[in-house]
């Protein structure tokens, strides 16, 4: 089992923060929704001892929070508890709370002490361990886009904040207009050890992007990404706003929100194996293999990178969400962009994930695709500037889920048990949404047919 937060570290935090009235224990499920418990600081000694328990089926709830019987979890097996452990580096004050509070990310083991296979963090950890067996360490940085919007009634669509109705890309006045909220987001990132780097205004009205510093700890990068989502939503509420990481909250030409991931690999000597060592178009053999692996696995894993019905609204002609499994040098219209191919900064950028992804699963899928590339060396095909385009990505949710279920790639990266559970949770969500008749259908058909 990986290291967990020690009792001494928990005690030191509480000594430095004696006013904290509760600790929120966070368990991100496969949708990236935070489940968990409120815990009294007086009982914090139980955290480090692994005495906190929660049903393992918590990880496989559907988007509405319901059990999915078809996963074989919950009542089908008696709904057994797992044992929860706090993750080092994630215990911090919850700065947007109305009372003094703290939060900590948790991971889970089975009653016999093995990692819970349904915990998304363990799926990423398994891929990280496979890379380590090859003597490799992934260096990862994510970029997350999100929208701030004016509050409305539940069920209503978003409305842009006043004065931000049009395109605002790189517009500093758009950032300034929401400075109290955005500045506090940056401040709270520092307080929670979330290594946020650059904040910019993006294309959509009220849309912003945060870039994170590169780290050689892929698990920590996923931890920071998912904690950042919670921080932004909480801070927005404090400032009378809504925040969403929904992939396409506005229709029409307004931009969707994505999560891009920059990845390089270091060998045991700390050398970047993606470094071509030559000119700007010199591609190292290992980088070429990694690109081939990502492109080869992109369609089979699209149900991970685009997990929900709304996710597929991003994949439109003329948008920055690619429609083909393609690659190119410093080209923002492709699925895999190579910003730099030589020097220590040589890396690839994976560009198809929506901001609605679970960061653990998305990074696991990306690194798993790279590993398959290194092991199998599939041909990435020509770059876009050489006439390459690659296979068409899925444009609908159900076909993506069906390919994920049927592909050997899914079980190779995520394991059979997780692939089955993930597929059944997605099917439950598909059925839930398909059973609802939209206002558009009523307006279009009710009085004409």
The full DSSP string for 275-322 is ---SSTT---HHHHHHHHHHHHHHTTTHHHHS-SGGGGGS--TTSSS-
If one counts every other C-beta atom within 10 angstroms of the C-beta of residue 170, the result is: 10
Helix axes 359-376, 120-133, angle to 10 degrees: 30
Q: Domain of residue 110: give its range.
A: 7-116
**Residue 94 confidence class, pLDDT cut points 50, 70, 90:** very high
Q: Which of 164-168, 326-330, 383-387, 394-398 has the lowest mean pLDDT?
A: 164-168
What does the pLDDT average to over 134-139? 98
Residues 139 and 108 grouped into a single domain: no
- Both 217 and 344 in one domain: the answer is yes
Question: pLDDT at position 387, please?
Answer: 86
Please report whether residue 423 resides in a domain: no
Q: What is the pLDDT of residue 172?
A: 81
Report how many helices (DSSP H) and strands (DSSP E) the chain contains, helices first: 13, 14
Q: How confident is the model at residue 281 (pLDDT cuts 50, 70, 90)?
A: low
Residue 442 lies in a domain: no
Q: How confident is the model at residue 173 (pLDDT cuts 50, 70, 90)?
A: confident
Give the pLDDT confidence of 303-359 residue by residue, as tens digits. 999 999 999 999 877 666 889 999 999 888 899 999 999 999 999 999 999 999 999
222 with 124: CB under 8 angstroms? yes
Residues 79 and 180 in one domain: no
Q: Could you give the number of structural domains in the chain?
A: 2
- Domain-embedded: residue 121: no
Residue pair 208/143 in contact (Cβ under 8 Å)? The answer is no
For 223-268, the pLDDT digits (tens) are 999 999 999 999 999 999 999 999 999 988 788 999 999 999 999 9
pLDDT at 181 (0 to 100):
93
Average pLDDT over residues 91-106: 96
Does 102 share its domain with 152?
A: no
Residues 94 and 211 in one domain: no
| Burial (Cβ within 10 Å: 0-12, 13-18, ≥19) of residue 379 | exposed
Same domain as 347, residue 317: yes
One domain for residues 335 and 368: yes
- 346: helix, strand or coil: coil
Mean pLDDT of the chain: 93
Predicted pLDDT at 45: 86
Q: What pLDDT, on the 0 to 100 scale, is given for residue 1?
A: 66
Answer yes or no: do 144 and 286 share one domain: yes
Does residue 166 share a domain with residue 73?
no
CB 207, CB 201: distance < 8 Å: yes
Q: Are residue 107 and residue 135 in the same domain, yes or no?
A: no
Q: Is residue 337 part of a domain?
A: yes
Sort 133 into a burial class: Cβ within 10 Å, 0-12 / 13-18 / 19+: exposed
At 370 the three-state DSSP class reads: helix
* pLDDT at residue 204, rounded to an integer: 86
Beta strands (DSSP E) in 122-187 are: 137-149
pLDDT at 202 over 70: yes
Q: Which of 87, 116, 145 is the last residue of a domain?
A: 116
Comparing 328 with 279, the larger pLDDT belongs to 328
Residue 230 confidence (pLDDT) = 97
Output the pLDDT for position 198: 81
User: Residue 347's pLDDT is what?
Assistant: 97
pLDDT at 280 over 60: no
213 in any annotated domain: yes
Please tell me whether residue 416 adopts helix, strand or coil conformation.
helix
pLDDT of res. 279:
63
Are both 145 and 252 inside the same structural domain? Answer: yes
Same domain, 230 and 174: yes
Structure tokens that stand for 54 in this block:
């929660």
- The 10s digit of each residue's pLDDT in 12-60 is 999 999 999 999 999 999 999 999 999 999 988 899 999 999 999 999 9
Decide if 17 is inside a domain: yes
Residue 14 sits in a domain whose CATH number is 3.10.20.70
Rounded-to-integer distance, Cα 279 and Cα 269, Å = 23
Last residue within a domain, chosen from 74, 91, 116: 116
- CATH classification at residue 348: 3.30.590.10
Q: Which pTM was predicted?
A: 0.95
399: Cβ contacts below 8 Å, ≥ 6 apart = none
Between the alpha carbon of residue 292 and those of residues 46, 169, 279, 428, the distances in Å are 47, 32, 21, 33
Burial letters 403-418, b for 16+ CB under 10 A, else e: bbbebebbebbbeeeb
Domain boundary among 116, 135, 157: 116
The predicted pLDDT at position 276 comes to 87
pLDDT at 446 over 70: yes
Q: Indicate whether 169 pLDDT > 80.
A: no
The DSSP output letter for 18 is T
The answer to the question of residue 436 being in a domain is no
**Residue 447 lies inside a defined structural domain of this protein:** no
């Amino acid at each position: 089992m990986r290291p967990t937060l020690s009792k001494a570290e928990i005690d030191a935090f509480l000594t430095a923060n004696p006013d904290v009235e509760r600790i929120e224990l966070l368990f991100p499920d496969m949708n990236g929704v935070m489940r968990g418990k409120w815990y009294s600081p007086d009982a914090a000694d139980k955290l480090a001892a692994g005495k906190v328990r929660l049903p393992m089926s918590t990880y496989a709830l559907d988007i509405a929070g319901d059990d999915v019987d078809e996963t074989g979890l919950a009542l089908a097996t008696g709904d057994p508890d797992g044992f929860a452990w706090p993750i080092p580096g994630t215990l911090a004050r919850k700065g947007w709370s109305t009372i003094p509070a703290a939060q900590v990310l948790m991971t889970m083991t089975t009653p016999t002490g093995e990692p819970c296979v349904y915990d998304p963090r363990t799926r990423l950890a398994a891929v990280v361990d496979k890379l380590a067996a090859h003597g490799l360490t992934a260096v990862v940085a994510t970029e997350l886009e999100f929208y701030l919007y004016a509050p409305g009634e539940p069920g209503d669509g978003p409305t842009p904040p006043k004065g931000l109705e049009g395109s605002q890309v790189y517009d500093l006045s758009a950032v300034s207009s929401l400075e109290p909220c955005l500045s506090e987001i940056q401040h709270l990132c520092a307080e929670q050890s979330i290594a946020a780097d650059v904040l910019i205004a993006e294309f959509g009205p009220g849309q912003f992007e945060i870039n994170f510093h590169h780290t050689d700890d892929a698990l920590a990068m996923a931890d920071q990404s998912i904690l950042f989502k919670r921080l932004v939503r909480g801070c927005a509420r404090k400032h009378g706003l809504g925040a969403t990481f929904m992939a396409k909250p506005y229709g029409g030409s307004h931009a969707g929100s994505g999560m891009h991931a920059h990845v390089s690999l270091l060998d045991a000597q700390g050398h970047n194996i993606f470094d071509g060592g030559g000119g700007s178009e010199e591609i190292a053999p290992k980088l070429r293999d990694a690109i081939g692996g990502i492109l080869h696995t992109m369609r089979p894993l699209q149900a991970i990178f685009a997990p929900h019905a709304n996710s597929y609204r991003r994949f439109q002609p003329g948008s920055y969400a690619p429609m083909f499994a393609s690659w190119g040098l410093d080209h923002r219209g492709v699925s895999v962009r190579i910003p730099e191919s030589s020097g220590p900064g040589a890396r690839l950028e994976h560009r198809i994930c929506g901001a609605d992804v679970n960061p653990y699963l998305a990074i696991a899928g990306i690194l798993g695709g790279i590993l398959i590339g290194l092991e199998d060396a599939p041909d990435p095909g020509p770059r876009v500037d050489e006439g390459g385009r690659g296979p068409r990505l899925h444009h609908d949710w159900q076909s993506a889920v069906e390919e994920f279920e049927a592909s050997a790639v899914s079980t190779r990266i995520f394991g059979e048990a997780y692939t089955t559970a993930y597929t059944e949770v997605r099917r439950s969500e598909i059925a839930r949404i398909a059973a609802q008749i939209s206002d558009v259908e009523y307006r279009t058909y009710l009085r004409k047919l």
